[in-house]
């Protein structure tokens, strides 16, 4: 079995999890997490580097010991160190870490005192009310655990779009490399740019379907072929992702792409429209009686039912068909419309690169302004700048701006919204910054009324301009905070503040529904990278996908404005 970067990253993550439960040295744990990230993000396969005898320690975060482990994993598919750790702790105990609210300390307590080793054990212990009696737990925690485990065990795992992309694009390229295949597209929820996907739907154009499905099931990452035939096949990849493949002839490409892109609700609505006009639509085309009137392109298919082309991101039967009929489809924002980015981090807080490197990377992507918004707080603890450091960074930015051409840095900070809604930086510092971003990074489980009041109060601060990642969710890891988002959006509008759409693949926060709500209220959305390294500016593409799902047009997005206009808008919030 060839070893892929994702396999190596998974081993390092598991080591880090197990070390955390063993309460090992935090630096050691972080070293494994960083290594996992670096390996996962590498464009080149470690396997190839090892085979070429390249020096792995030249990669960031990879020292001598980790390089040896990578070599071992590539050679054997296993890691002796992980095997030893697994002998000390039951295999399922790392699962406990992925339950929100259960850190390593609590996971260890459950394991040691209640002998909980699996999620099933945990569920039983919670249902029997045995957890509340443990030191450091209580009835509320027990309820949280119960709900989280229930949600985790009943829901089918969905993949973040950016993770699914890596597997889907590699597989699509593999299929497309066959001379038998004329074209391959990734359809389904992935093409609609949903934040998570349940499975991947691939469409291939070819005349010899069976040869293509055979090539598909022979792919080296296929763990299990679930079904296979002349025109379709399904398989589960080793990473757990399921892939459905359809093979159609050229003349049906557009109809099949439309069918497979969905959503199901959109498809049904389009079919109904076709029926009203005496047409029948299926995966092979649009037909009047036996005659095919469209099928090769999606445009022709829509035209056959009297509609203009509807972008995949809108195909949810949420009013797009009515808008299309009325000629009122939005002209969705594009990546090239962005002129700046209002949220990023440098090495001064928890980023990986310096001011100049971040500025240069943003400029190369065609941005003309970039707000530096390192974490800042009164105390300066936990990777954040203290007030003095913020002021020094402002001077540094002034000096750098005098040198830089083609891009301007704005002086900003990402400031914690404390439990009571106040901002964790003195007003005298806040008012000197070009842009203040408020963010919730703690107390995620406050009840709705309190949580809403907290955010509303933060928005009342005269220095705040932007509410970062408004729901604070982490896809697949942390639920959104419980707030009245409609009220927050209205309040932001009254104050002249803006909401962020954070483009990190794990956040994509504002979500699509709330983007639409913001648009309806006239509240501009800032599509930001929240970059922690210069590579992360690529995240803007994910954010744009989400903005498009939220029907946002260029004018609905704050950072499509020129720097002059932006400064005017920011001045109004104060």
Residues that bind ligand DGT (CB under 6 A): 188-189, 194, 197-199, 201, 259-260, 262-264, 267-268
Distance between CA atoms of 521 and 111, rounded to whole angstroms?
A: 49
260 binds, among ligand DGT, Ca ion, none (CB under 5 to 8 A by kind): ligand DGT
262 binds, among Ca ion, ligand DGT, none (CB under 5 to 8 A by kind): ligand DGT
199 or 502: whose CB is closer to ligand DGT? 199
Contacts of 300 (CB under 8 A, 6+ apart): 254, 286, 294
Tell me which residue has its CB nearest to Ca ion. Answer: 188
Smallest gap from residue 248 Cβ to ligand DGT (A): 13
Interaction mask 160-189, Ca ion, x per CB under 5 A? ----------------------------xx
Smallest gap from residue 215 Cβ to ligand DGT (A): 21
262 binds Ca ion (CB under 5 A): no
Residue from 7, 95, 121, 199 binding Ca ion (CB under 5 A): 199
> How far lies 393's CA from each of 44, 215, 396, in Å?
35, 56, 5
Tell me how far apart the 2 most distant CA atoms of the chain are, in Å: 77
Question: For 335-422, where are the E strands, in sequence order?
Answer: 340-341, 369-372, 375-376, 408-416
194 or 469: whose CB is closer to ligand DGT? 194
Smallest gap from residue 232 Cβ to ligand DGT (A): 12
178 or 242: whose CB is closer to Ca ion? 242
Q: Which of 134, 62, 56, 149 is nearest to 100 (CA)?
A: 149
Residue with tokens 């299990």: 224
SS3 category, 433: coil
316 binds Ca ion (CB under 5 A): no
> How far lies 153's CA from each of 99, 161, 196, in Å?
11, 21, 18
Beta-carbon count within 10 A of 109 CB: 17
199 or 221: whose CB is closer to Ca ion? 199
Smallest gap from residue 198 Cβ to ligand DGT (A): 3
Smallest gap from residue 169 Cβ to ligand DGT (A): 16
373 binds, among Ca ion, ligand DGT, none (CB under 5 to 8 A by kind): none
244 binds Ca ion (CB under 5 A): yes
Residue from 17, 142, 201, 416 binding Ca ion (CB under 5 A): 201
CB 374 within 8 A of CB 398: no
Q: How wide is the angle at C-alpha 545 spanned by C-alphas 541 and 547, nearest 5°?
A: 110
29 or 197: whose CB is closer to ligand DGT? 197
Size of the site for Ca ion (CB under 5 A): 5
Q: Which of 506, 492, 512, 468 is nearest to 345 (CA)?
A: 468
Smallest gap from residue 234 Cβ to Ca ion (A): 8
CB 534 within 8 A of CB 357: yes
Footprint of Ca ion on this chain (CB under 5 A)? Answer: 188-189, 199, 201, 244
């Amino acid at each position: 079995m060839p070893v892929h970067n994702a396999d190596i990253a998974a081993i390092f993550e598991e080591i880090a999890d197990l070390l955390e439960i063993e309460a090992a040295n935090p630096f050691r744990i972080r070293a494994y997490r960083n290594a996992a990230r670096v390996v996962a993000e590498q464009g080149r396969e470690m396997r190839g580097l090892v085979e070429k005898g390249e020096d792995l320690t030249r990669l960031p975060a990879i020292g001598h010991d980790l390089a040896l482990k990578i070599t071992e994993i590539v050679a054997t598919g296993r890691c002796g160190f992980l095997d030893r750790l697994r002998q000390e702790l039951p295999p399922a105990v790392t699962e406990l870490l992925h339950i929100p609210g259960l850190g390593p300390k609590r996971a260890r307590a459950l394991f040691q005192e209640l002998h909980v080793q699996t999620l099933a054990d945990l569920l039983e212990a919670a249902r029997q009310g045995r957890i509340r009696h443990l030191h450091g737990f209580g009835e509320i925690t027990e309820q949280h655990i119960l709900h989280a485990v229930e949600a985790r065990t009943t829901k089918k795992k969905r993949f973040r779009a950016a993770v699914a992309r890596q597997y889907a694009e590699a597989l699509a390229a593999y299929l497309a490399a066959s001379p038998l295949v004329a074209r391959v597209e990734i359809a389904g929820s992935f093409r609609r740019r949903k934040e998570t996907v349940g499975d991947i739907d691939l469409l291939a154009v070819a005349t010899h379907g069976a040869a293509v499905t055979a090539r598909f099931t022979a792919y080296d990452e296929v763990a299990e072929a679930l079904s296979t035939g002349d025109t379709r096949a399904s398989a589960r990849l080793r990473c757990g992702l399921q892939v459905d493949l359809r093979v159609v002839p050229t003349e049906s490409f557009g109809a099949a792409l439309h069918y497979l892109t969905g959503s199901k609700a959109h498809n049904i609505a389009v079919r109904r429209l076709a029926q009203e006009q005496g047409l029948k639509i299926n995966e092979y085309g649009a037909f009047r009686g036996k005659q095919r009137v469209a099928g090769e392109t999606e445009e022709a298919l829509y035209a056959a039912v009297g509609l203009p082309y509807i972008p995949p991101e809108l195909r949810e039967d949420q009013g797009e068909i009515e808008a299309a009929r009325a000629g009122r489809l939005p002209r969705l924002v594009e990546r090239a419309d962005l002129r700046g980015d209002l949220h990023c981090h440098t090495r001064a807080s928890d980023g990986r690169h310096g001011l100049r490197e971040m500025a240069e990377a943003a400029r190369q992507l065609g941005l003309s302004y970039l707000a530096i918004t390192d974490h800042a707080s009164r105390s300066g603890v936990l990777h954040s700048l203290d007030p003095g450091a913020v002021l020094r960074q402002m001077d540094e930015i002034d000096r750098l701006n005098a040198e830089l051409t083609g891009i301007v840095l704005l002086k900003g900070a990402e400031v914690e919204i404390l439990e009571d809604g106040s901002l964790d930086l003195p007003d005298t510092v806040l008012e000197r910054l070009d842009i203040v971003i408020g963010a919730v990074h703690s107390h995620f489980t406050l009840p709705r009324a309190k949580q809403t009041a907290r955010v509303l109060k933060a928005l009342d601060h005269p220095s705040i301009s932007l509410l970062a990642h408004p729901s604070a969710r982490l896809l697949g890891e942390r639920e959104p905070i419980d707030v009245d988002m409609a009220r927050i959006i209205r309040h932001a509008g009254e104050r002249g503040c803006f909401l962020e759409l954070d483009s990190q693949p794990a956040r994509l926060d504002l979500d699509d529904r709330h983007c639409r709500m913001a648009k309806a209220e006239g509240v501009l959305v800032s599509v930001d990278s929240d970059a922690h390294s210069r590579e992360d500016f690529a995240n803007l593409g994910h954010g744009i996908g989400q903005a498009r799902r939220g029907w946002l047009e260029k004018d609905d997005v704050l950072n499509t404005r020129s720097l002059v206009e932006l400064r005017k808008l920011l001045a109004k919030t104060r």
